[in-house]
Amino acid sequence: MTSPTSTLPGAPATPVDAAPAEAGGASLGHRGDAAPVLVAENLTKSYGAVHAVRDVSLACLGGEVHALVGENGAGKSTVAKMLAGAVVPDTGLVRVGGEPLSSGSVRTARRHGVQCAFQELALVPDWTVAENLCLPDGSSLRRFARGRETREAERVLAALDLEHIDPRRPVHEMPLADRQQVEIARAVSGDVKVLILDEASSALTPPGVEWLFARIRELTARGAAVVYVSHRLGEIREIADRGTVLRDGAVVSDFQRGSWTDDELISSMAGRTAARAFPAPPALEHADGPAALEVEGLAGEAIHDVSLTVAPGEILGIGGLQGHGQAELLRSLWGAEPATARTWRVAGKAIRRLDPVRAVHAGIGFVPEDRKREGLALEMGVGENLLAPWTRPHERGGAPRLKREKGWIDEVLGGLSVRTRGAKERSGALSGGNQQKLVFGRWVGRDRRLVLLHDPTRGIDVRAKQELYDAIVALAREGVGVVWFSTEVEELVHVCHRVVVLYRGAVADELQGERLTADAVVGAAVGRRAVA
C-alpha cells in the first residue's frame, strides 16, 4: 500500500496530482473513499514579523482522522483556522474535494462541508443552546421561532447522545465541558465532509472524550475526514489514523497509526529528546509549621461540608469529573464565591470574611479556570499582568514599577521559561502555554502560603506542562501549600502527595500512598468508593 504521507513535506507539489489516481485505486478499498478530501498546499502565514506557518502541506483522506500535533506556538491552530477558512493564508491553497477554497471565509468553507469546533469557544454566551445550535445556518437571525428552534435543538442533541444538555439554557451558565460539547455538536450536526477539531477535547471529561470519539467514528464511517488538533497523546493514539507534526510553523514529520511511541512524538515536537516524566512531589519537611489551609465544613452553592487540610509544602490534588464542585471549591477558598465554614484557617490565621483582596493579603494565590477571560488582561503587557495582584493605588505603576521589579520579573520569566520578547510585550501575543505561565508566575517568589490552581495545564503543550509541573513542585519545596484541581488523572496521581476526589459537591474519597492510583481516582469520581 502506498503511503500518502510520503508525498507530504518532501515533495509538496504532488498531493493533489496524486489524488485522482488514488481515488480510483483500490489500495484503501475497504474505506471506499480514499481520495484526499481536504488538501492544503504550501500554506504560509505571517503576523507582522512572526512567521506563524511556513509552507505547510498536508492531505486528509476521507474516512480517516488526521492528527495535527506540536507544541503551543508551533502553528497548529493557525493551520486549523486556515483549513476552516477562518484565516486567510498569505500564500498557498486549501482544496476541498479538489475544489479550491479561495475566499478564506468560514461561510464558504461551511458550504463546502467543512465544519469546525475551536478551542476558543465560538458560542454566543448570552444565547441559549438552541439559538447557538441554529446559528450557522443563520435561521436565528432570519426569523424568530423559539419553539421550532428548541425542538430542532432537542432533536439534534438527542441524536448526538447529549440529553443532559438543556437547549433552553443560556450558554454562559453552563460548565466549560458542556459548552465545548455544544460547540462540537454544532459542528457535527451540519453536513460534514471535513470536521476540524482544534483542541476540542481540552475541557472534556474522560466520558466526554469517549462521546467525542464516538461522534468522530460515526463521521469517518460515512467517509468524512477529521482533522484532530490535540496535545493529549493518549487521545491521538486512540483516534488518529495519520498525523503531522509541526514545529515552529513547519512540518517536521508525519506518522501513521501504530508507528510511533510517546517519546518519539514528543522529541519530534520539541526538537529534542524529552521524556514524559512527572516530577515526584517533594518530601514534606515543613510539616511542623501551622497548616497552609485548614477548613472544616466548608459549604457554598455547589459544595457541601468539605473539610480539607493542607500542610505547608504539600500538594493536594482535587479530582473528580467537571461540574462536581471543584470550581466552586477553589473559588470559595479564594473568596470569589460566598461560602461558610465551621473553622477556616490559612497559615494559622482564622478567616472570617474572604474576598480576593483579603485573600492576597492572607498569603493565598489563585490560578483561575479560564486564562483568557479571568487570568490575563490580553491587551496589557507581560510585566503588568504579572504585577496585577501587586499593583497598589498609592505605589508606583507602569514603567517605573516595571523597572523596579525587573529582577523579580526576569526571575519569574526565566524560571518558567516563558517565551516572550520581554516585560512590555502584549500578553495576548503569547501562546497559550506561555500565557498560563504568566497567570501562575504571579505567585512565584511572593511569600505565598497557599496557592490554588484550577486545571493550569489544560490545553497547553507537553513542554509547557512539564515546566509547570516543575514550577509547582518548586513552589511546594519552598513550603507553599498547593491545592491543585486537574482534569488529567495522571497529573494528580504522580505529582500530588494526596488527592481528594469530589463527587456531587462533597468529598467522595481521599487517596494517598498505595491507594493513590488512576483507577481509584476515576472510580471515586463516578461515585464508586474504592475498597481500601
Partner 1 sequence: MSTVAAPPRPGTDTDGDAQHRLTEALRRVPAAAWPLVVFALLFLIGGIVRPNLLTLEALWSTAAFAMIVAIASSGQTLAVIQGGIDLSVPNTVTLSALTFLSAVDGLGAFGAFVAAIAAGAVVGLVNGTIIAKLSLSPIVTTIAMNGFLFGVVLLTFDFSQLTDIPRFASDITSAKIAFLGTEVAAVVPVGLGLLLALQALLSWTGWGRALFLVGAAPDVARLAGQPVDRIRITAYMLSGALAAFAGIVIVGFYAQTSTGMGAPYLLGSVAAVVVGGASIFGGRGSMIGTLGGALVLGQVATLVAVANLGVNIQQLIYGVIILFVVALYGRRARA
Residue of 181, 186, 188 lying closest to 222 (CA atoms): 188
For 261, other C-beta atoms within 10 Å of its C-beta total 10
Is the Cβ of residue 207 or residue 398 nearer to partner 1 in the bound state?
Answer: 398
CB of 230 to partner 1, least distance (A): 19
Site residues (CB under 8 A) for partner 1? 47-52, 73-74, 248-249, 334, 336, 356-357, 359-360, 366, 368, 373-380, 384, 387-389, 391-401, 419-421, 425, 429-431, 442
CB of 467 to partner 1, least distance (A): 16
Quote the cell numbers at residue 228.
484532530
Residue of 314, 310, 315 lying closest to 295 (CA atoms): 310
Half-sphere exposure of 365 (CA within 13 A, CB side): 29
Triad 143, 148, 153: Cα angle to 5°: 110
Is the Cβ of residue 72 or residue 181 nearer to partner 1 in the bound state?
Answer: 72
Half-sphere exposure of 57 (CA within 13 A, CB side): 18
Grid cell 502527595 is found at 497
Classified as helix, coil or strand, 521 is helix
Q: Whole-angstrom Cα distance, residue 498 to residue 509?
A: 11
CB of 98 to partner 1, least distance (A): 28
- Residue 478: exposed, middle, or buried by beta-carbon count in 10 A (0-12, 13-18, 19+)? middle
Residue of 473, 405, 479, 478 lying closest to 442 (CA atoms): 405
Is the Cβ of residue 92 or residue 527 nearer to partner 1 in the bound state?
Answer: 92
372 DSSP 8-state letter: I
Quote the cell numbers at residue 399.
514603567
Is the Cβ of residue 358 or residue 494 nearer to partner 1 in the bound state?
Answer: 358
Is the Cβ of residue 243 or residue 249 nearer to partner 1 in the bound state?
Answer: 249
CB of 175 to partner 1, least distance (A): 17
CB of 54 to partner 1, least distance (A): 8
Cβ-based neighbours of 127, under 8 Å, separated by 6 or more: 135, 140, 170, 171
CB of 432 to partner 1, least distance (A): 10
Please state, in angstroms and as integers, the Cα–Cα distance from residue 194 to each residue in 102, 114, 319, following that order. Answer: 16, 5, 35
CB of 429 to partner 1, least distance (A): 6
Is the Cβ of residue 249 or residue 323 nearer to partner 1 in the bound state?
Answer: 249
- Residue 33: exposed, middle, or buried by beta-carbon count in 10 A (0-12, 13-18, 19+)? middle
Is the Cβ of residue 222 or residue 372 nearer to partner 1 in the bound state?
Answer: 372
Grid cell 475498597 is found at 531
Is the Cβ of residue 66 or residue 442 nearer to partner 1 in the bound state?
Answer: 442
Cβ-based neighbours of 261, under 8 Å, separated by 6 or more: none
Is the Cβ of residue 142 or residue 394 nearer to partner 1 in the bound state?
Answer: 394
Contact 40, 92 (CB under 8 A): yes
341 DSSP 8-state letter: -
CB of 232 to partner 1, least distance (A): 22
CB of 118 to partner 1, least distance (A): 16
Quote the cell numbers at residue 305.
461540608
Is the Cβ of residue 257 or residue 419 nearer to partner 1 in the bound state?
Answer: 419
Cβ-based neighbours of 293, under 8 Å, separated by 6 or more: 308, 309, 310, 333, 345, 346, 450, 481, 483
Is the Cβ of residue 252 or residue 380 nearer to partner 1 in the bound state?
Answer: 380
- In single-letter form, the type of residue at position 80 comes to A
CB of 277 to partner 1, least distance (A): 25
Q: Whole-angstrom Cα distance, residue 248 to residue 51?
A: 8
CB of 480 to partner 1, least distance (A): 17
Is the Cβ of residue 113 or residue 381 nearer to partner 1 in the bound state?
Answer: 381
Please state, in angstroms and as integers, the Cα–Cα distance from residue 303 to each residue in 153, 323, 335, 340, 483, following that order. Answer: 31, 11, 14, 10, 16
CB of 448 to partner 1, least distance (A): 12
